Amino acid sequence: MLILLDQDGVLADFERGFHDGWNARGDVPCPALPLAARQSFYVRDDYPSENRDVVEGIYTAPGFFRDLPPMPGAIEAVAALLAQGHDVRICTSPLNQWRHCVTEKYEWVERHLGTDFVHRMIVTKDKTVVYGDVLVDDKPAVTGTRQPVWQHVIFDQPYNRHVAGPRMTWASWQAVLPQLARRC
Amino acid sequence: MLILLDQDGVLADFERGFHDGWNARGDVPCPALPLAARQSFYVRDDYPSENRDVVEGIYTAPGFFRDLPPMPGAIEAVAALLAQGHDVRICTSPLNQWRHCVTEKYEWVERHLGTDFVHRMIVTKDKTVVYGDVLVDDKPAVTGTRQPVWQHVIFDQPYNRHVAGPRMTWASWQAVLPQLARRC
């Protein structure tokens, strides 16, 4: 099975990185929202609009993407998927503010998944033009210019609970992905 | 028609950049090969193996990819393809030495095709997992893990003349691509 894995929010813990980055600043107007209170896919939409520059300043800063911690269990799960014979790729969209983000996504993969895994990266704003059997992604609706061939498996996050369909975390993937594999 | 355009050797003039970069160094053991004498897709294979570090040093240097000149006619042709209603994307593979190359590919596109065109970039080592009607690429054989759905249109360069199939340059594309579009 060709499994496309989104990077941020699935492999890399964007939420923790943002939360810690926000609280580490001395000049923020309020404490960071706890993860359970996050309702919008775009973190900037969960903070008052007058804080938008502060919010964007955190995740566009040099080092933000490079230094994100892995999601708990993610690295081990990728190794297990490969060991099961699946073809695993990372399918990730850069920020519109791509200047640090793109290279740092590569640095993150090299650091946590190894030099060779970098060759498995697909960086694209439009994931619908990429072939795969499944796309594991925390974005509630992954849209683009085409009808995708992959099935979207929601990576569970508080801000996507309203979406129906297959859903997993790195604690539950073994009950979800093998069932889909049997259909492919 | 969804047209995938390779970046280096198709939109960006890698050969000129390398040629000029080589000749600008004071310590190279011989003049740069003229373009007509280039026989291998990988420029390093056209120079003696003892010069490999010098060859790689040129195209892995900071600024090399960012500062490549556009291929003559490329920017105008992209605008014309868009004006004809085609969906045009850049489908590009980073070097194994990706540290400068990835970000600089984005910088190049921003500079020469505009901020919005950056959203049309697809960066992947394996182009066979990308959907498209055609892939315009100077690489003699574009292979990967899948049977691609796109048709490979060779972008004419001296090092790919042994390959059969549709072939174009930015001087001849108008006689080649519309014929393929009628089949899609």
Q: What is the pLDDT of residues B96-110, one digit of tens each?
A: 999 999 999 999 999
What distance, in Å, lies between the first and last C-alpha atoms of chain B? 7
User: How far off is chain B from A32, nearest CA to CA, in Å?
Assistant: 30
Whether pLDDT at B184 is above 70: no
d(CA B25, CA B95): 22
Residue A127 pLDDT: 98
- Span B26-48, mean pLDDT? 92
In this predicted complex, what is the ipTM? 0.96
CB pair distance less than 8 Å for B125 and A119: yes
Closest Cα partner for B82 from B172, B3, B166, B183? B3
Strand partners, A136: A5, A153
CB pair distance less than 8 Å for B131 and A132: no
The question of whether B27 is a catalytic residue gets the answer no
Task: Determine contact, residues A150/A133, Cβ cutoff 8 Å.
Answer: yes
Whether pLDDT at B135 is above 80: yes
Chain A contacts of B125, Cβ < 8 Å? 119-121
Residue A183 pLDDT: 66
User: Predicted confidence band at B153 (pLDDT cuts at 50, 70, 90)?
Assistant: very high
B64-106, pLDDT tens digit by residue? 999 999 999 999 999 999 999 999 999 999 999 999 999 999 9
Residue B181 pLDDT: 73
d(CA A172, CA A162): 19
Which chain A residue's Cα is nearest to B101? A103
Closest Cα partner for A65 from A123, A136, A135? A123
Chain A positions contacting chain B at CB under 8 Å are 2, 87, 89, 94, 96, 98-99, 102-103, 106, 118-126, 129-132, 145-146, 149
Residue A178 pLDDT: 83
Percent of chain B predicted with pLDDT > 70: 98
Residue A184 pLDDT: 58
CB pair distance less than 8 Å for B126 and A119: yes
The predicted model scores a pTM of: 0.96
User: Predicted confidence band at B183 (pLDDT cuts at 50, 70, 90)?
Assistant: low
- Span B163-181, mean pLDDT? 93
Which chain B residue's Cα is nearest to A131? B129
Chain A contacts of B103, Cβ < 8 Å? 98-99, 102-103
Pairing of strands A87-92, B167-168: unpaired
Residue B55 pLDDT: 94
Residues of chain A with pLDDT under 50: none
Helix (H) or strand (E) holding A3, with range, is strand A2-5
CB pair distance less than 8 Å for A123 and B121: yes
Residue A95 pLDDT: 93
The long-range contacts involving A147-153, CB below 8 angstroms and separated by at least 24 positions, are: A149/B131, A150/A4, A151/A180, A153/A177, A153/A180
Task: Determine contact, residues B137/B89, Cβ cutoff 8 Å.
Answer: no
A150-184, pLDDT tens digit by residue? 999 999 999 999 999 999 999 999 999 988 876 65
User: Predicted confidence band at B4 (pLDDT cuts at 50, 70, 90)?
Assistant: very high
Residue found under tokens 């593979």? B93
